[in-house]
Amino acid sequence: MSNVFRFQSDIELQAGSPQGKPQRVRILAYSGGTMRVSGWGAVAIDLAGLETPARLPILVDHDATTGGVAGSGEPQSNGRELTIAGSLASTPAGEKVASLLRDGVPLQASVGVEPTTTQRLRAGEKISVNGREIEAGNEGLTLVKAGRLREVSVLPVGADANTQVSLAARKSDMDQDK
């Protein structure tokens, strides 16, 4: 996945899960605006052109091995932002994420997007995307007009600081924004 953008966001714990039940998680994976992506500079994703699978893996640190799997979730977009509703697995990676969040450690999330169509904007150019107007800064901006969402990762530091992940106490917490 060398051609995959990774966009990052905050994680926050709401509550624990009952014994033996999977820990539910809700991730605001992409807030819809501009991010700084290492090696790419300023980047935005057009959510209207993003292909999302029915379910996708939630990984730790973009570790695409079975040891890096923390859970899975269902991506959802309202045209302004991208969320993931899912659960953490009872794997070492999933248990580590839940433990860190319960201990109050601020974590972030990152989406792995494989771009299929991009557009380069020059400094000062504006474009309407995800229900807002975005202006390219001095270095310009890469707009991912179309792409495939491959995974969402949990990690300590991310590019999109306007997002968050919450562990939910009940399934109804997962359905509140539908």
Q: How far apart are CA 15 and CA 24, in angstroms?
A: 9
Q: How far apart are CA 25 and CA 45, in angstroms?
A: 23
Angle at Cα 48 formed by Cα 42 and Cα 53, nearest 5°?
A: 100
Provide the domain limits for residue 57.
Answer: 5-175
> Six-digit token pair at 55?
């379910």
Predicted pLDDT of residue 178: 44
Cβ proximity of 127 and 140 under 8 Å: no
Predicted pLDDT of residue 174: 44
Q: Which residue has the tokens 């009940």?
A: 170
Element (H, E) at 172: helix 171-175
Predicted pLDDT of residue 104: 82
Domain count, the chain: 1
| pLDDT per 10-residue tile (average), the chain, 178 residues | 58 49 87 90 96 97 94 97 93 93 82 95 98 97 98 83 67 46
Predicted pLDDT of residue 101: 81
